[in-house]
Amino acid sequence: MNSARLMVSGQATGIAEAAYREAYKYAQERIQFGKAIIEFPPVYEMLTEMKIAVEASRTLLYETSRFVDFKECYEHVAETHPERAAEVKSEMKRYTRLANLFTPMTKLYNTEAANKVTYDGIQIHGGTGYMKEFNAERHYRDARITNIYEGTSQLQVVAAIGGITSGTASRFIEDFIESTDFSHCKDLLGQVEKAQLNFDKTLLKIKEIADADVVTYHSRRLVEMATDIVIALLFMRDAKHSERKIKVAETFIAKMVTRVEMNMNFIVGEESTLLKNYQEIIG
């Protein structure tokens, strides 16, 4: 499944990139009220969010591909050089855990992001985006299958949640912070560490509750919290080599911190109204 998830994640990223480019071009060319619509805050906000989502998808995809490559390399060494199997066993297990967490996490994020990016692409085009004269509607249709085949988004959550509750995600975040030079963005690191504390606090609460239905109910929120923090860290690492990426990281993290805190408050507050009421509501 790792290869299939990576393949679809890459496909979704490509579709999102194409949709962004179409929307950006149209927003520059379309004149309303005497100026290009890209100059209006509602439009450039959408374009900014689209661009950040595409870049988040790409950096997450590359990092996940690295884990899968290492996993397969160590497996190959163990298989073809039995005398080295014991030597590589620890690293092979480590990268297997990371690959098993990150491939569903990446497919979930990238395909959902592609759906949102292509949706906003049509929105920027207005009514013309719904027509076949533009590529915007095709990108939206192409993106729609990505979070369905090779495992729906709901199944990606099921596949990823074990790596969240077992501590694999938390260990990765801790190790990444310890091993990466963030001297170029110390203020941002402080914000991400705050989000990390909120994530860890939420995990502790979930373990205290020890109710399978509650864990399942909150699984997607937990996976999205971890994904948000990971993407923030990857953006910050990338920013060491690009001043522009600092701006990307700043903008992403400003909203990420709020999302993580909101999810924490929802989970830690033992919100279970839906679990109590869903049968009467839908039945």
Q: Which residues are catalytic?
A: 150
What is residue 31's DSSP assignment? E
Distance CA 76, CA 134 (A): 47
Distance CA 196, CA 178 (A): 13
**What is the H or E stretch that residue 32 is in?**
strand 31-32
Distance CA 19, CA 17 (A): 5
Distance CA 63, CA 195 (A): 21
Q: How far is CA 232 from CA 108, 173, 176, in A?
A: 17, 10, 11
Sequence letter at residue 120: D
Residue in the block written with tokens 């590529």: 135
Residues contacting residue 181 through CB under 8 Å, at least 6 positions apart: 240
**What is the H or E stretch that residue 35 is in?**
strand 35-36
Residues contacting residue 278 through CB under 8 Å, at least 6 positions apart: none
138, two tokens: 């095709």
153 with 145: CB under 8 angstroms?
A: no
103 with 1: CB under 8 angstroms?
A: yes
